[in-house]
A and B are shown apart, each in its own frame.
Chain A
Amino acid sequence: MVNRTVTGAHYGLRDWLAQRVTAAVMAIYVLVVVGYLLMQPSFGYDTWLELFTSNVMRTFTMLFLLSLFYHAWIGVRDIVMDYVKPAGIRLLIHVLVILALLVYVIWSVQILWGM
């Protein structure tokens, strides 16, 4: 293969947009959760348990975590693209990051619905 600089992978916009949307989801989640907790008269294990037994909260949290993982994927991929120059190693790291994030997704489901 000739050693030429190649660009033109057509996913620039999709990932850029996804990073913005996932950031908005995370910001809303943080505001809602912090707001809810501040409104509680007392704060302890009971409050926490009650909050996370509701399926709405579990779903919302799952949405937050999925946003976080997708957001993190784009950010980490950008860093790897900048610092790891050999394409083979870069692909390997990308695959490892994706697998790790998929494990986190499964783990998150177990935590949220496993009780």
Chain B
Amino acid sequence: MKFKIYRYNPDTDNAPYMQDFDLDLQAGDAMLLDALMLLKQQDDSLGFRKSCREGVCGSDAMNINGRNGLACITALSSLKQPIEIRPLPGLPIIRDLIVDMTQFFKQYHSIKPYLVNNDPPPETERLQSPQDREELDGLYECILCGCCTTACPSFWWNPDKFVGPAGLLQAYRFIADTRDQDTAARLDNLEDPYRLFRCHTIMNCVDVCPKELNPTEAIGKIKDMMVKRTV
């Protein structure tokens, strides 16, 4: 199998370059991450993140043949060769396929990704009806891998001001939660020409999400709620 992998070590390289790799491997059921691990045996300077290797931790998000995805759940047999692997676009490179996610998490933290409830905690837990709980399906599953946000041109252009699809999906996750008491402040926080409304609904986020979530729909629901409270 043939690979072309983005290499850049800011300590030794003047500029990033693409390195060719050859791997003697039958695709079979193997995932891209398996191949990367074998390639690391060939060249142990190759840098990438990984942890759970089953699409739960979100560490090994990368740009695979031009599309963001998780290496650990991308089947080698589904990829055209040479398999071109680059880091997630739009974020600073630390080394090779490892990107600096600071800006991504800054935006995530800006939407207060936690339940705000000032009532004294009940003895057992804060209950929800099954219907209210259902509203959180498709929202809570996000693993914050960053595939969607780094596929979004609005985020590439305004990473300091536009929250990005992952952050906005989580914003709606807490707006939709009936146990949360901060809805008005959460909507205020997003009612700005940059933070939410830089989304122009091109749906790259939906296209790449490895968990098949739909940030665009969540963004639409936030807009609906803003309209509802205004008119």
CB atoms of B197 and A7 under 8 A apart? no
CB atoms of A17 and B227 under 8 A apart? yes
CB atoms of B227 and A12 under 8 A apart? no
> How many of chain B's residues have a CB under 8 angstroms from any CB in A?
18
Residue B140 interfacial (CB < 8 Å): no
Given contacts A7-B195, A17-B227, contact A12 B190 (CB under 8 A): yes
Residue B188 interfacial (CB < 8 Å): yes
Residues of A within 8 A of B157 (CB): 82
Sorting the interface of chain A by its residue count into under 10, 10 to 19, 20 to 34 or 35 or more gives 10 to 19
Residue A92 interfacial (CB < 8 Å): no
The chain B residue with its CB closest to the CB of A13 is B226
CB atoms of A10 and B161 under 8 A apart? no
Query: Whole-angstrom distance from the CB of B129 to the nearest CB of chain A?
Result: 29
Residue A41 interfacial (CB < 8 Å): no
CB atoms of A13 and B223 under 8 A apart? yes
Query: Whole-angstrom distance from the CB of A115 to the nearest CB of chain B?
Result: 39
Query: Whole-angstrom distance from the CB of A86 to the nearest CB of chain B?
Result: 15
CB atoms of A13 and B230 under 8 A apart? yes
Residue B158 interfacial (CB < 8 Å): yes
Residue A43 interfacial (CB < 8 Å): no
Residues of A within 8 A of B190 (CB): 12
Complex CA gap A81/B162 in Å reads 12
Given contacts A7-B161, A17-B227, A82-B158, contact A12 B188 (CB under 8 A): no
Given contacts A11-B193, A13-B191, contact A5 B160 (CB under 8 A): yes
A1-24 residues with Cβ-Cβ distance < 8 A to B are 5, 7-17
Complex CA gap A66/B191 in Å reads 25
CB atoms of A10 and B188 under 8 A apart? yes
Residue A50 interfacial (CB < 8 Å): no
CB atoms of A7 and B194 under 8 A apart? yes
CB atoms of B197 and A15 under 8 A apart? yes
Complex CA gap A7/B161 in Å reads 7
Residues of B within 8 A of A9 (CB): 192-193
CB atoms of B161 and A12 under 8 A apart? no
Q: What string of 1s and 0s marks CB contacts (under 8 Å) between B191-222 and chain A?
A: 11111110000000000000000000000000
Query: Whole-angstrom distance from the CB of B161 to the nearest CB of chain A?
Result: 5
> What 15 new A-B contacts, CB under 8 Å, besides A13-B230, A14-B230, A82-B157?
A5-B161, A7-B161, A8-B192, A8-B195, A10-B188, A10-B191, A10-B192, A12-B193, A12-B194, A12-B195, A13-B197, A15-B197, A16-B223, A81-B193, A82-B158
- By a beta-carbon cutoff of 8 Å, the part of chain B in contact with chain A is 157-158, 160-161, 188-197, 223, 226-227, 230
- By a beta-carbon cutoff of 8 Å, the part of chain A in contact with chain B is 5, 7-17, 78, 81-82
